[in-house]
């Protein structure tokens, strides 16, 4: 067994390139985006600059135009991209496209990869992932899926309602999860590639959520008599939930990586303000209560990074166990939330403002404890596994008695 947290020189150079790019090209545009919103035009312009700087899509496979870095290496690079809320969009490593790139790379047919993966990895187009539904449909419990797929000549017909579909407005295609219907088909769920111009795929209203920095909103989507040809089935028929795990476990961790960067930015802003701010005859950073906030942030950031790196290392080496990603997602999402909350408190009144960036990070990061599996759902899964292991230990002792 070896524990080595050394960042190789080539990876450190790439991390520094991303840091320099984010500082020079991305951070100066933050206030404009906070006021006016992110547009595809600006996204494409930033991505063009990222390509010129050699920092584009570090996590995407090299054959499709990405940096080709291993998953554990991406933990270092995506944290740096997340130092600005706009960084992941600029580097084409933001959700949901990042997760869809990974899924298409591992499960798509050669034709699907040419049609969907290549332009997605290059940033030429955007995508979305349509699984979440209004109650009583799928959300924290994917097995509650209500959208149906029935067999027809040459393909499938999808019917259902989705909501909170990130990036749906302006996406070129969606990966849609639906439950197979009918006695003549394999039971279970199936994933489908649905083009946005399909007349049966209708993007509706934007839901007004507290996070607002992404592009394409969080929308309602209606699937009504939506015909999808057989060659648009992604993965195997009836094995959609299993295939989705190819996407979901790594995607949880890339969320952790990006939000760790944002939390580090919030902490840096707050501490720099604390060392400049004079209060009650001394620097704010010299007051005991402020020092407690700073120290707790330092601990949470270091601990979150360690659990993210460990989980990323297991995935990079082929582990398909989702327990590591669940633990990391729970701890990191809660820890970075605490870091940003303390940073706002430390910065005082201006900490609530978007001018100081902290206010926007605070708004955007709150949702992280819900999406890709709410904290409570992951805790339930972790507890069940622990109880199962305890049951197995007890049974083994009884057998050996």
**CA-CA-CA-CA torsion for 311, 164, 114, 155, nearest 10 degrees?**
120
Question: Do 140 and 230 fall within a single domain?
Answer: yes
Calpha distance 341→177 (Å, rounded) = 35
Q: Are 152 and 227 in contact (CB under 8 A)?
A: yes
Calpha distance 284→277 (Å, rounded) = 6
Question: Do 376 and 245 fall within a single domain?
Answer: yes
Domain boundary among 71, 104, 121: 121
Q: Are 108 and 100 in contact (CB under 8 A)?
A: no
Calpha distance 111→124 (Å, rounded) = 17
Residues near 27 by beta carbon (within 8 Å), at least 6 away in sequence: 84, 86
Rounded to 10 deg, the angle between the 358-365 and 240-276 helix axes is: 150
Boundaries of domain holding 163: 127-238
Per-position DSSP letters for 89-154, written without gaps between them: HHTT--TTHHHHHHHHHHH--HHHIIIIIHHHHTTSS-EEEE---STTSSSS-GGG---EEEEETT
In a domain, 372, yes or no: yes
Calpha distance 101→106 (Å, rounded) = 9
Tokens at residue 345, please?
Answer: 């408190």
**pTM attached to this predicted model:** 0.94
Confidence at residue 1, expressed as pLDDT on a 0 to 100 scale: 62
In a domain, 399, yes or no: no
Question: Do 254 and 225 fall within a single domain?
Answer: no
Question: Do 309 and 359 fall within a single domain?
Answer: yes
Domain boundary among 121, 149, 173: 121
Calpha distance 24→86 (Å, rounded) = 13
Question: Do 203 and 115 fall within a single domain?
Answer: no
In a domain, 360, yes or no: yes
Question: Do 134 and 96 fall within a single domain?
Answer: no
Question: Do 246 and 376 fall within a single domain?
Answer: yes
CATH number at residue 110: 1.10.540.10
In a domain, 4, yes or no: no
Domain count, the chain: 3
- The upper half-sphere exposure of residue 153, i.e. CA atoms within 13 Å in the direction of its Cβ, equals 0
Give, for all 401 residues of the chain, the pLDDT tens digit: 677 889 999 999 999 999 999 999 999 999 999 999 999 999 999 999 999 999 999 999 999 999 999 999 999 999 999 999 999 999 999 999 999 999 999 999 999 999 999 999 999 999 999 999 999 999 888 889 999 999 999 999 999 999 999 999 999 999 999 999 987 788 999 999 999 999 999 999 999 999 989 899 999 999 999 999 999 999 999 999 988 888 888 999 999 999 999 999 999 999 999 999 998 889 999 999 999 999 999 999 999 999 999 999 999 988 777 899 999 999 999 999 999 999 999 999 999 999 999 999 999 999 999 988 899 999 999 999 999 999 999 999 988 76
Question: Do 159 and 269 fall within a single domain?
Answer: no
In a domain, 386, yes or no: yes
Tokens at residue 28, please?
Answer: 């100066």
In a domain, 1, yes or no: no
Q: What 8-state DSSP symbol labels residue 239?
A: B
Tokens at residue 11, please?
Answer: 């990876």
In a domain, 180, yes or no: yes
Confidence at residue 182, expressed as pLDDT on a 0 to 100 scale: 85
Give the residue ranges of DSSP H helices in 223-374. 240-276, 288-316, 323-347, 358-365
Question: Do 218 and 81 fall within a single domain?
Answer: no
- Which residue, 260, 125, 237, is CA-closest to 182? 237
In a domain, 3, yes or no: no
Question: Do 28 and 169 fall within a single domain?
Answer: no
Please return the burial class of 389, using the count of CB atoms within 10 Å of its CB with bins 0-12, 13-18 and 19+.
Answer: exposed
Cis peptide preceding 198, ω within 30 of 0: no
CATH number at residue 212: 2.40.110.10
Confidence at residue 319, expressed as pLDDT on a 0 to 100 scale: 78
Domain boundary among 181, 216, 238: 238
Calpha distance 140→378 (Å, rounded) = 9
Question: Do 93 and 147 fall within a single domain?
Answer: no
Confidence at residue 5, expressed as pLDDT on a 0 to 100 scale: 86
Calpha distance 112→104 (Å, rounded) = 8
Calpha distance 389→315 (Å, rounded) = 22
Question: Do 269 and 206 fall within a single domain?
Answer: no
For 199-210, the three-class secondary structure string (H helix, E strand, C coil) is: CCEEEEEECCCC
Confidence at residue 4, expressed as pLDDT on a 0 to 100 scale: 83
Residues near 164 by beta carbon (within 8 Å), at least 6 away in sequence: 132, 207, 209, 218, 219
Calpha distance 179→150 (Å, rounded) = 9
Calpha distance 90→247 (Å, rounded) = 21
CATH number at residue 294: 1.20.140.10
């Amino acid at each position: 067994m070896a524990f080595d947290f050394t960042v190789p020189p080539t990876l450190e150079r790439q991390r520094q390139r991303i840091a320099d790019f984010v500082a020079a090209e991305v951070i100066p545009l933050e206030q404009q985006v906070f006021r006016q919103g992110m547009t595809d035009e600006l996204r494409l312009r930033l991505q063009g600059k990222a390509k010129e700087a050699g920092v584009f899509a570090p996590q995407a496979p090299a054959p499709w135009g990405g940096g080709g870095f291993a998953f554990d290496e991406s933990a270092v690079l995506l944290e740096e991209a997340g130092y600005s809320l706009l960084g992941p969009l600029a580097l084409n490593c933001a959700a949901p496209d990042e997760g869809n790139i990974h899924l298409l790379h591992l499960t798509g047919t050669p034709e699907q990869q040419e049609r969907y993966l290549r332009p997605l990895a290059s940033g030429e187009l955007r995508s979305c992932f349509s699984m979440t539904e209004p109650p009583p449909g799928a959300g924290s419990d994917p097995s509650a899926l209500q959208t149906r797929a029935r067999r027809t000549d040459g393909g499938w017909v999808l019917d259902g309602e989705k909501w909170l579909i990130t990036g749906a407005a302006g996406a070129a295609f969606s990966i849609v999860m639906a439950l197979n219907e009918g006695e003549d088909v394999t039971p279970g769920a199936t994933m489908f590639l649905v083009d946005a111009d399909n007349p049966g795929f209708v993007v509706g209203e934007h839901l007004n959520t507290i996070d607002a920095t992404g592009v394409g909103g969080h929308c309602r989507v209606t699937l009504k008599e939506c015909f999808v040809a057989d060659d648009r089935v992604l993965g195997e028929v009836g094995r959609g939930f299993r295939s989705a795990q190819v996407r979901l476990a790594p995607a949880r961790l890339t969320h952790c990586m990006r939000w760790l960067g944002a939390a580090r930015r919030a902490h840096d802003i707050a501490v720099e303000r604390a060392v400049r701010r004079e209060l009650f005859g001394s620097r704010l950073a010299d007051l005991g209560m402020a020092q407690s906030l700073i120290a707790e942030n330092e601990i949470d950031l270091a601990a979150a990074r360690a659990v993210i790196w460990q989980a990323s290392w297991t995935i990079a080496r082929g582990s398909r166990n989702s327990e590591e990603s669940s633990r990391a997602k729970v701890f990191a999402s809660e820890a970075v939330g605490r870091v940003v909350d303390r940073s706002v408190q430390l910065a005082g009144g201006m900490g609530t403002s978007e001018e100081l960036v902290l206010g926007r990070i605070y708004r955007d990061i709150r949702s992280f404890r819900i999406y890709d599996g709410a904290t409570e759902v992951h805790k339930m899964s972790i507890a069940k596994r622990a109880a199962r292991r305890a049951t197995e230990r007890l049974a083994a002792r009884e057998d050996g008695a």
